Every structure is written in structure tokens, then in C-alpha cells.
């Protein structure tokens, strides 16, 4: 008999949008993908009928969407990063090191990659696990949360073409044990120091890490369009969701700091151009002098607030929201992931 924690989440990149691919990557994650069936109720008024008639109810649209939330791990995370960003490279940091650095940037094509996402749902008091399989799933958003005394978490938002209950349940398999990225080994760099973009084998850099950070977050949004429900497709999308362009909310975030000076207040009031790097290092070496690394870097940001106020005698903190924009750097945002993964 199974237990309720035997729930599984498996993914596979599709060759053709909406065509089933057997899940091969399994995440230790929570997923909330669901299909919503939208209906319309016809009028069909008849004498003596006070309640709308059952024969006039029709399905007009099917929408599948939800989130996948997982701890930030030192192995396998590049799969989710590639799903969101759409353009990715993987390069060994030095010959024979066995350490690979992935660099992820935003795709400049209409459509991003699509995936089959399967949720294995165990029945209570049974050995049966039902396969809820979502086809044509695309990653529309990605957020990273780093709070004090906590594990770094990634939440990805997905939209899918359709749900099918006809595919066979794919038995999960998982990589060897891995470590977690935590707030303990994190750092954030925010300032006007010259930004150096990542290369194939080196992460981004900019200035000195802040010393009084309480928490930090990054939110990225692909702006997937909400169209494509065209005639002849059974209430489902006929094409992948398209990336949005020129949006002012595609890259954003926040960081909370203890108030030790006016630098960020002045930058906010003057609307000074800054850069931001948020990075986390794994706890154990994976090669001589090399550690796992997760880094999000934004070459150009502007602060959207805030100003300090009294805090009832407690330590005064300020939460600074920021917006990332396209500046002089070729890319508005980079993700770097360094691990022992030889492939994305």
C-alpha cells in the first residue's frame, strides 16, 4: 500500500508542443497544476422553468495552470532554469574539473520550450497512483525567495495546453543525494559599481556584498500571452503561449536591510542606476576550490522605495523594492548555475 507522500512530479521536454513525452526528470517538489473547465449557460427560456436548463450548459474553454515549488538544490536545478529562460549553455569550468557552469538568458524567440508535466497522485488506502499528465506546459514565471534562517526556494508558474488522464504513470527516479542552497551561504551585491557579466566559465561580479541584509527575493515573468484558443481545438490552445516583449514588470525583486546609511535612500530619491547580484554557494566543495553556485544577476535596476521610519525602539530596517530594466548590457538578467550536472 502506498502512502500520501508518494506523490511525484515528473517532467520531460517535448519535441512537439502538446505531444506527450515520457517524464524523465523527477523533482522533490510540490506542484499545484490543475485544469479549470470553463462553461457557458445558454438562455433557452421556457414557460414554467424557474431554473436554467441542464441541456443548455456547454464547455467553452479548458485552462490548465499552476505552480511547482522546490528547495534550491545543488543538482538538477538547471532544468527548471532552462524551462523559464529558454536560452541556456553548459560549459566545463576548466578541462577535467568535472564542474559545469550553466548560463541562462531570456529567449528572443516567440515561443519557449514546452514540457510534459506529470503529477502522480496516490489514492488513499490503495496501491494505485493516478497519473495527471499536463501536455504543452510552459514556464511563465520564476521567483526566488531567500529569507533569514531558511532554505532558498524557487517557485515556477506554468500554463499547459491540456490535461490527460490516459497516459501511463512514469515511475520516478532520483539523483544521488545533494546539498541545499541556504541563506547562510548567500550574498547580495547592490550598487553603482561597474557590472561584469558572466562568461561561459565565470559568474557575474559587481562590487562588495552587503553586510546587513535580512532577506532578498527576485521575481521574473515571461509575460506569456493569454490567447491561442482558436477555432477547431476543442477549447484548448492551438499554439504555444508567446513571450511578451517590452514589459516593465518582467524583472523585479526586493531586499530588506538594517538601516546603516543613506546610500539606498539617495539612490531611490535620485533614481540612480544600480546593478544587483544575488548568489548562493553550496556547503561542500565539488572540485578543488570550487563550490556549487546559484546566481541571479541584473545589470540595471532602479529602486522603487523605501524610506526609513522609527521602529518602536527595535532595529530599523528598510525594504527596498526594485525593477530591472534593459540597460547597456546585452541581457537584462542572467542566471548562473554551477554544479556537477554534465547536461541541462
Cα angle 108, 114, 117 (rounded to 5 degrees) comes to 145
Are the CB atoms for 278 and 333 separated by under 8 Å?
no
Give the pLDDT score at 66: 98
| Domain that includes residue 311, residue range | 4-40+56-339
- Classify residue 51: in a domain, yes or no: no
**Grid coordinates representing 249?**
514588470
Whether residue 306 has a cis bond before it, omega within 30° of 0: yes
Q: φ, ψ for residue 300 (rounded to 5)?
A: -135, 115
The mean-pLDDT minimum among 8-17, 20-29, 170-179, 309-318 falls in: 170-179
- Classify residue 344: in a domain, yes or no: no
- Classify residue 24: in a domain, yes or no: yes
Q: Which of 183, 144, 151, 185 is nearest to 282 (CA)?
A: 185
Are the CB atoms for 72 and 78 separated by under 8 Å?
no
Tens digits of residue pLDDT in 112-142: 999 999 999 999 999 999 999 999 999 999 9
Tens digits of residue pLDDT in 200-238: 999 999 988 999 999 999 999 999 999 998 998 888 999
- Classify residue 156: in a domain, yes or no: yes
- Classify residue 85: in a domain, yes or no: yes
Alpha helices in 223-301 (DSSP H): 263-270
SS (H, E, C) 43-112: CCCCCCCCCCCHHHEEEEEEEEEEEEEEECECCCCHHHHHHHHEEEEEEECCCCCCCEEEEEEECCCCEC
Tens digits of residue pLDDT in 271-321: 999 999 999 999 999 999 999 999 999 999 999 999 999 999 999 999 999
- Classify residue 45: in a domain, yes or no: no
Are the CB atoms for 330 and 297 separated by under 8 Å?
no
pTM: 0.95
Tens digits of residue pLDDT in 322-338: 999 999 999 999 999 99
| String of DSSP letters for 148-205 | TTSB-EEEEEEEESEEES-SPPPPP--PSP--B-BGGGEEEEEESSPPB---SSS--B
Give the pLDDT score at 194: 87
Are the CB atoms for 252 and 320 separated by under 8 Å?
no
- Classify residue 269: in a domain, yes or no: yes
Give me the number of domains the chain comprises.
1
What's the Rg (C-alpha) of the chain?
23
**Grid coordinates representing 261?**
546609511
- Classify residue 48: in a domain, yes or no: no
Nearest-angstrom CA–CA distance, 18 and 16: 6
Please state the rounded mean pLDDT for residues 83-98: 96
Nearest-angstrom CA–CA distance, 315 and 312: 9
CA count, 13 A, side-chain hemisphere, 144: 29
Amino acid at each position: 500500500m502506498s502512502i500520501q507522500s508518494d506523490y511525484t512530479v515528473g517532467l520531460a521536454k517535448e519535441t512537439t508542443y502538446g505531444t506527450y513525452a515520457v517524464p524523465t526528470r523527477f523533482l522533490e517538489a510540490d506542484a499545484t497544476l490543475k485544469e479549470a473547465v470553463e462553461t457557458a449557460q445558454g438562455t433557452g427560456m421556457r414557460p414554467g422553468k424557474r431554473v436554467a436548463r441542464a441541456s443548455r450548459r456547454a464547455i467553452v474553454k479548458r485552462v490548465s495552470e499552476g505552480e511547482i515549488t522546490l528547495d534550491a538544490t545543488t543538482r538538477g536545478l538547471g532544468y527548471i532554469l532552462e524551462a523559464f529562460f529558454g536560452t541556456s549553455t553548459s560549459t566545463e569550468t576548466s578541462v577535467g574539473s568535472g564542474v559545469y557552469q550553466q548560463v541562462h538568458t531570456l529567449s528572443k524567440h516567440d515561443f519557449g520550450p514546452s514540457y510534459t508535466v506529470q503529477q502522480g497522485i496516490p489514492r488513499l488506502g490503495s496501491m494505485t497512483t493516478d497519473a495527471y499528465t499536463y501536455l504543452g506546459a510552459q514556464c511563465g514565471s520564476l521567483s526566488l525567495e531567500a529569507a533569514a534562517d531558511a532554505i532558498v526556494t524557487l517557485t515556477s508558474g506554468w500554463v499547459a495546453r491540456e490535461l490527460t488522464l490516459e497516459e501511463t504513470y512514469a515511475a520516478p527516479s532520483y539523483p544521488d543525494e545533494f546539498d541545499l542552497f541556504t541563506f547562510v551561504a548567500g550574498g547580495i551585491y547592490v550598487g553603482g559599481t561597474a557590472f561584469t557579466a558572466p562568461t561561459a566559465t565565470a559568474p557575474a561580479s559587481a562590487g562588495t556584498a552587503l553586510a546587513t541584509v535580512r532577506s532578498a527575493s527576485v521575481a521574473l515573468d515571461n509575460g506569456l500571452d493569454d490567447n491561442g484558443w482558436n477555432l477547431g481545438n476543442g477549447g484548448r490552445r492551438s499554439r504555444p503561449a508567446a513571450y511578451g516583449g517590452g514589459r516593465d514588470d518582467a524583472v523585479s525583486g526586493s531586499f530588506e536591510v538594517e538601516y546603516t546609511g543613506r546610500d539606498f535612500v539617495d539612490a531611490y530619491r535620485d533614481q540612480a542606476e544600480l546593478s544587483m547580484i544575488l548568489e548562493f554557494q553550496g556547503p561542500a566543495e565539488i572540485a578543488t576550490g570550487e563550490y556549487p553556485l546559484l546566481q541571479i544577476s541584473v545589470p540595471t535596476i532602479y529602486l522603487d522605495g523605501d524610506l526609513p521610519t522609527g521602529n518602536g525602539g527595535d532595529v530599523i530596517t528598510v525594504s527596498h523594492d526594485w525593477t530591472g530594466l534593459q540597460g547597456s548590457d546585452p541581457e537584462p538578467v542572467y542566471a548562473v548555475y554551477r554544479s556537477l550536472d554534465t547536461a541541462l
